[in-house]
């Protein structure tokens, strides 16, 4: 085999290898940019949350005074609680407006599916009051994270995790099931979620297992209650005696006819047979 032929063979063999290598590198870069959709936390997940907060130009509150300032400038809003969700020992019940919308929407569907309210255990926390095991890239100081209590009902856990993963698949948030202490940590990607919420059709109550956005339903107008004379006139009379001269009921007529026929038949039989 000549050198020229050998070089041609090697060149042809190198082309597919280069294509395969490019595909492998592309897949690896994609995996690094977007972690696999699971409830397990990872350094890549925390980096993704922090990068989203930086891209949104969020201020990371260092102290309680910094949280107060964010509230005064309306960059953080109060999460009041309601029929669908409750707050449990939340030191700073404030969050980004888009996170508030997310909590209201997902909790309404959760209560419809599970029959119990969601419980929020943490929202915005200044860095000065972060717990000892908090990650250095935590986005709680930025106001875009919310923690939920894990339900004791396994069916509610499955429903909620499925709902969170469906939203994470759409790049709307990043969810983690934490172990110490046990809770769900959710970082909402505010710009993406706001655009998603704006595209949703208004619904009265969720009817599917996937999260939807709820809109307030106007209260139905109640008809005016009738006055006392009108109500008395509309109320049907009960146990009223039949007026005099009215025709007897049909049942009595039938019974009388049967008795008359029986008597007539007895007389005919007696006439034919005579006394016994």
Write out pLDDT tens, residues 133-189.
Answer: 899 999 999 999 999 999 999 999 999 999 999 999 999 999 999 998 999 999 999
Instruction: Please check the confidence at residue 12 and state whether its pLDDT lies above 60.
Output: no
Can you give the residue ranges of every domain in the chain? 48-199
Beta strand 145-148 with 182-188 is antiparallel
Task: Tell me 80's DSSP state.
Answer: -
Query: Which band of pLDDT confidence, cut at 50, 70 and 90, is reported for residue 219?
Result: very low
Distance CA 93, CA 120 (A): 9
Of residues 82 and 201, which shows the higher confidence score?
A: 82
Contact status, residue 205 vs residue 214, Cβ threshold 8 Å: yes
Distance CA 145, CA 133 (A): 16
Burial of 189 (0-12, 13-18, 19+ CB in 10 A): buried
C-alpha atoms less than 13 angstroms from C-alpha of 233 in its C-beta half-sphere = 5
pLDDT at 36: 72
Read off the pLDDT of each residue in 3-31 and give the average, rounded to a whole number.
48
Distance CA 199, CA 202 (A): 9
Query: What's the pTM value of the predicted model, to 2 decimals?
Result: 0.63
Q: Which of 25-29, 52-56, 236-240, 260-264 has the highest mean pLDDT?
A: 52-56
Structure token pair of residue 129:
């009051």
CB 185: neighbour CB atoms within 10 A? 23
- Mean pLDDT across the chain: 78
Read off the pLDDT of each residue in 48-67 and give the average, rounded to a whole number.
98
Read off the pLDDT of each residue in 79-103 and give the average, rounded to a whole number.
97
Q: Is the peptide bond before 181 cis (omega within 30 degrees of 0)?
A: yes
Hunting for tokens 């007026």 — which residue is that? 243
**31 alpha carbon, distance to own chain's centre:** 29
**Least confident span in 34-48, 193-207, 261-275:** 261-275
pLDDT at 208: 44
Contact status, residue 140 vs residue 124, Cβ threshold 8 Å: yes
The CATH fold of domain 48-199: Muramoyl-pentapeptide Carboxypeptidase; domain 2 (3.30.1380)
């Amino acid at each position: 085999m000549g050198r020229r032929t050998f070089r041609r063979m090697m060149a042809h063999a190198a082309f597919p290898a280069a294509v395969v290598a490019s595909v492998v590198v592309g897949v690896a870069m994609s995996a690094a940019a977007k972690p696999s959709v699971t409830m397990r936390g990872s350094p890549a997940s925390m980096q993704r949350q922090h990068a989203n907060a930086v891209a949104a130009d969020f201020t990371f509150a260092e102290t309680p005074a910094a949280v107060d300032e964010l509230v005064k400038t309306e960059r953080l809003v109060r999460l009041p609680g309601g029929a669908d969700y409750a707050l449990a020992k939340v030191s700073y019940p404030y969050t980004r407006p888009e996170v508030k919308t997310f909590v209201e929407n997902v909790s309404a569907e959760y209560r419809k599916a599970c029959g119990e309210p969601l419980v929020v255990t943490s929202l915005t926390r200044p860095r000065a009051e972060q717990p000892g095991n908090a990650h250095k890239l935590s986005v709680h100081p930025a106001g875009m994270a919310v923690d939920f209590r894990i339900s004791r009902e396994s069916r509610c856990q499955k429903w909620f995790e499925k709902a969170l993963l469906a939203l994470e698949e759409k790049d709307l948030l990043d969810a983690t099931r934490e172990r110490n202490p046990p809770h769900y940590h959710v970082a909402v990607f505010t710009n993406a979620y706001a655009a998603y919420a704006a595209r949703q059709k208004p619904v009265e109550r969720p009817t599917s297992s996937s999260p939807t956005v709820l809109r307030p339903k106007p209260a139905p107008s109640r008809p005016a209650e009738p006055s006392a004379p009108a109500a008395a006139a509309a109320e049907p009379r009960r146990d009223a005696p039949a007026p005099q001269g009215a025709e007897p009921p049909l049942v009595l007529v039938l019974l009388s006819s049967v008795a008359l026929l029986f008597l007539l038949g007895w007389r005919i039989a007696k006439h034919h047979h005579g006394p016994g």
